[in-house]
Amino acid sequence: MFYRVFVPKQAVGASLIYFDLWVPTTATHRIELYSCLPVVSGAVAVTGVVGVDLHLTRTSAIGTGGTAMVAGGSSQTAMAIGRHNNDQANSLNSITGRLTPTGGATGSDILSWSSVFTEETNSATYNAPIDLARNYFSDIPPILINPGSGISVVQGAVASAGNIGFNLIIKPIPR
């Protein structure tokens, strides 16, 4: 059973935590992160800007503040987790997530990084982004997120302009 996590576009910002995904210590499963793709929005007029560095990190504390992730949401502006296949049960109610958490989401290991360009008139903006989880190498196992830990994507210290969202593919596995 795979699930998809939709992280809506947000304005970029220096050292911004875009989102966090957390598996509580009481969860009966771990999570495998198969894919974490940044998506630059071309629907925002931005000219003459620099790219932004995105860092996929493990987290050692749950995110607080921000906006809580919803299960099966239909809003284009809310972080949501949804079933990959319509006939599967929604059994990941214990997983939490926050859109732009204002506290917590304490970073630990940096797992990967990529630089993306947010200027909408440059064709590089629309090139296939680098998958922050496995870099498109199918023989690399997915990133394992154990109970009591999570992941987040954090922008580097350089400010820019534009909007970025993320598409994640995850899979629960028994503990």
Q: What is d(CA 32, CA 151) in angstroms, rounded to the nearest whole number? A: 11
- Helix (H) or strand (E) holding 42, with range, is none
In 3D space, the residue among 6, 16, 37, 24 whose CA is nearest the CA of residue 135 turns out to be 37
Q: Is the pTM of this model over 0.85?
A: yes
Asked if residue 89 has pLDDT above 90, the reply is: no
CA angle at 114 for the pair 170 and 57, rounded to the nearest 5°:
50
Q: What is d(CA 50, CA 71) in angstroms, rounded to the nearest whole number? A: 35
pLDDT in tens, 103-145: 888 888 999 999 888 776 666 656 677 899 998 888 999 999 9
Q: What is d(CA 36, CA 93) in angstroms, rounded to the nearest whole number? A: 20
pLDDT in tens, 163-174: 899 999 999 998
Decide: 20 and 154 in contact? Cβ < 8 Å. Answer: no
Decide: 4 and 81 in contact? Cβ < 8 Å. Answer: yes
Q: What are phi and psi of 8, to 5 degrees?
A: -65, 160
In 3D space, the residue among 165, 23, 164, 169 whose CA is nearest the CA of residue 93 turns out to be 23
CA atoms within 13 A on the CB side of 47: 0
Average pLDDT value over all residues in the chain: 88
